């Protein structure tokens, strides 16, 4: 098997739920420690967390150092080509794009992750040899193998995206529709109320569409009961909260018990 093989891309189509965790504290030490916990994936968040390009590289190294099957995902903050290129050159194999609202946008983010290959939807990724992803130039076959191993997750988090979700799901190269419930609720006019029936109906539509398209769906769960509920509903990729959430929950509980 190639050392470039992305196990998460393969597992998206296999049975079973893939549980992961959000990395929002910008700490390589925390990333390495949590990689030992046995999660299927860990998401390095650049959108709502203070992670820059150097932080991403440090956390990719830290996760790899655990020598366990936690595959890193990097959520970029935008669809800017230069930023996507940096993340891929750093060694990310799975990239999450926020707020994709149409099939055209979905096709564009796919192109941003692909080296040019001479067809109608040619890739836009710039080629450079001495990058971490290619072992700093030591693995010459990286550029010929990378396209097939890049996995793309798009977030569905607006009313417009839900209206276009079938076309987005059918875009070649898209592996997972990850639901952003908070932004979706706000877009539907129910800010702060992800349990509103209209929001729940939209979530169900996204999950069902992903199933029909033969791709994965994803969701952020705030707690274990919610994670179990999503898994039973057929959600494939589930975030079991975030590093900062578990840190605060455990420490606050311990403090309350000590004071009692």
Catalytic residue among 36, 48, 54, 117: 48
pLDDT (average), residues 68-94: 95
Which of 1-10, 39-48, 122-131, 141-150 is least confident? 1-10
Residue of 92, 233, 62, 80 lying closest to 152 (CA atoms) = 92
pLDDT band at 60 (very low <50, low <70, confident <90, very high): very high
CATH of domain 7-259: 3.20.20.60
Q: How big is the chain, counted in residues?
A: 260
pLDDT category of residue 1 using cuts at 50, 70 and 90: very low
* CA-closest candidate to residue 239, choices 222, 253, 255: 222
Contact indicator for 139, 168 with CB cutoff of 8 Å: no
Per-residue pLDDT, 3: 56
pLDDT > 50? residue 11: yes
Kind and range of the H or E run holding 22: strand 18-23
Residue 29 burial (C-beta neighbours within 10 Å; 0-12, 13-18, 19+):
exposed
Indicate the range of 116-125, 138-147, 213-222 predicted with least confidence: 116-125
Active site residue 79: no
The domain spans of the chain are 7-259
pLDDT over threshold 80, residue 126: yes
Assessment of whether the complete model's pTM goes beyond 0.85 = yes
Which has the minimum average pLDDT: 95-99, 101-105, 143-147? 143-147
State mean pLDDT over 38-43.
96
HSE value, Cβ hemisphere, 13 Å, CA-based, for 37? 15
Give mean pLDDT, residues 177-188: 96
> Distance (Å, rounded) from C-alpha 83 to C-alpha 71?
20
């Amino acid at each position: 098997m190639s050392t470039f093989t992305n196990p998460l891309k393969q597992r998206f189509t296999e049975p079973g739920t893939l549980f992961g965790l959000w990395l929002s504290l910008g700490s390589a030490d925390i990333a390495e420690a949590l990689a030992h916990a046995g999660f299927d994936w860990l998401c390095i968040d650049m959108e709502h967390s203070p992670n820059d390009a150097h932080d991403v590289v440090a956390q990719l190294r830290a996760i790899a150092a655990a020598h366990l099957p936690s595959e890193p995902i990097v959520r970029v903050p935008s669809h800017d080509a230069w930023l996507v290129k940096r993340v891929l050159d750093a060694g990310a194999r799975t990239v999450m794009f926020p707020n994709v609202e149409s099939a055209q946008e979905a096709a564009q983010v796919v192109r941003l992750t692909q080296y040019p290959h001479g067809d109608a939807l040619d890739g836009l990724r710039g080629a450079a040899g001495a990058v971490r992803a290619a072992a700093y130039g030591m693995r010459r076959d990286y550029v010929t193998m990378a396209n097939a191993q890049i996995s793309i997750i798009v977030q569905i988090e607006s009313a417009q995206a839900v209206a276009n979700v079938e076309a987005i799901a059918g875009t070649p190269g898209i592996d997972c529709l990850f639901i952003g419930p908070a932004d979706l609720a706000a877009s539907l006019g129910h800010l702060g109320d992800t349990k509103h029936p209209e929001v729940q109906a939209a979530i169900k539509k996204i999950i069902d569409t992903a199933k029909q398209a033969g791709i994965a769906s994803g969701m952020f769960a705030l707690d274990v009961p919610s994670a179990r509920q999503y898994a039973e509903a057929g959600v494939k990729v589930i975030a079991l909260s975030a590093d900062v959430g578990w840190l605060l929950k455990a420490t606050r509980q311990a403090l309350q018990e000590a004071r009692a």
